[in-house]
Amino acid sequence: MHIITDAPGINTIGYPTCRTWSRDGKSLFVESSRPRPDGASRPNERQLLKVDIADDKVTHLATLEAEDVTQYGQAHISISSQYHADYAPLANTLVYYDMTGHNMYLLNLDTGRSARILHEPEGTIGDPPSISMDGTRVIYYVVYPSIENRFFTGLNSVIFSLDVDPVSLKPLGEPQVVVAYPGRKGPKYAENERDQVHVNHCQINPANRDHISYAHEFHNVNVDGSLMKTRLWRVMADGSDNRPVVRQMPGEGHTHEVFGPKGKSLYFVDFWARSVFAVDFAAGEKRLVFESPDHLPNHITVSPDERWIAADMWADEGTDEHGNPMSGILLVDTDTGNQQVLCRLPRLQKHPGHPHPNFSPDGKKIAFTVAEGPNTQVAWVDI
């Protein structure tokens, strides 16, 4: 295991649905709570960095600012603490948004130029964004405030599609609504029985920028087989063909879905079955990829040839000397089902301190986040 950051605070790679490796596989894009290059440190700010895996050289790319939010009012403002960037390797371009969720930017790494492509004054952008492989389309979700009543919670979640030019760093038109979902309350309209469903985890199919996957996210509500409480959904960028990828039934714990790099399947974890499944879009049915009775897979990453899956392990493996739960990186051969623990490491209890493994472009390395007391660092392992 090679640890490539050493700053206190938060240092983390991207979310598993995002690309966090440079296209040549020599660097990782890292989000860090370290101070700015001039030493200035401001509350809630993050820095977007490029870190070379060979010599740990750090290049500062951008500051994810925490705006003065008083101009927006306080009712719907929440400082995001999660994952703010995704990478388009064919355009060598990053999309990222600021810490208060009101401004989104493109950064072209070939020219070093960056520009704001979106200002969202009324809602809050959620994490993470997704950008197409060629850098010409960004999808993201926004949470908007609304008036609460006995049927709705007062928040609407909306997935948008925005076409952009990664060279001129300009939007091509206005954002287009893909899916809009009202925050509904439970059938008895009681405070403790809200359905708590919102849409998030939107991601672009790497082989088809018109094809989007997203999630119905819900907490503390039992799955009942309904469409509302089915997690995995698909939709086209124009809003058509909006339907579940596979129906989630009672007792199933679908979570942490990622597109296969070939774009033909959606891979996901069934937490309660300790298994990983895939849904092939052509067949429309789920198939078991592997089950792991000895290790509980949670977040997954799929190799470019889809021969391998790596997962961070979520079983009770004890704690380190700081009380952090122990995890590890499990590597699975999808052809044979053979499983191997590549390394063990501590994790934090909450985002953004989960390992979130992520394959390199050549499929030979896996990056992840590792806990170090209350801090997190970025590491990689050669498989």
Q: State pLDDT tens for residues 4-52.
A: 999 999 999 999 999 999 999 999 999 999 999 999 988 889 999 999 9
> Which of 24-33, 181-190, 230-239, 271-280 shows the lowest mean pLDDT across its residues?
181-190
Say how far residue 335 (Cα) sits from the centre of its chain.
27
Say how far residue 279 (Cα) sits from the centre of its chain.
19
Of the chain, the percentage scoring pLDDT greater than 70 comes to: 92
Where is pLDDT greater, at 105 or 219?
Answer: 105
* pLDDT, position 179: 97
Model confidence band, residue 73 (pLDDT cutoffs 50, 70, 90): very low
* pLDDT, position 76: 41
Measured between alpha carbons, how far is 300 from 310 in angstroms, rounded to an integer?
A: 6
pTM of the model: 0.94
Measured between alpha carbons, how far is 123 from 154 in angstroms, rounded to an integer?
A: 12
Q: What is the DSSP letter of 38?
A: T
Model confidence band, residue 240 (pLDDT cutoffs 50, 70, 90): very high
Model confidence band, residue 82 (pLDDT cutoffs 50, 70, 90): confident
Model confidence band, residue 96 (pLDDT cutoffs 50, 70, 90): very high
Going by C-beta distance under 8 Å and a sequence separation of 6 or more, which residues neighbour residue 68?
none
* pLDDT, position 197: 83
Q: What is the DSSP letter of 69?
A: G
Check residue 237 and give left, alpha or beta (phi > 0: left; psi -120 to 50: alpha). Answer: alpha
**Preceding omega of 352 cis (within 30 degrees of 0):** yes
- CATH, domain range 65-249: 2.130.10.10
Say how far residue 159 (Cα) sits from the centre of its chain.
14
Question: What φ, ψ does residue 197 adopt, rounded to 5°?
Answer: -90, 135
Measured between alpha carbons, how far is 297 from 215 in angstroms, rounded to an integer?
A: 19
Residue 187's CB is within 10 A of a number of other CB atoms, namely 8
Residue 183's CB is within 10 A of a number of other CB atoms, namely 20
Measured between alpha carbons, how far is 258 from 15 in angstroms, rounded to an integer?
A: 10
* pLDDT, position 191: 53
pLDDT tens, residue by residue, 298-344: 999 999 999 999 999 997 779 999 999 999 999 999 999 899 999 99
Average pLDDT, the chain: 92
Place of tokens 């979902």: 181
* pLDDT, position 230: 94
Give yes or no for residue 85 having a pLDDT over 70.
yes
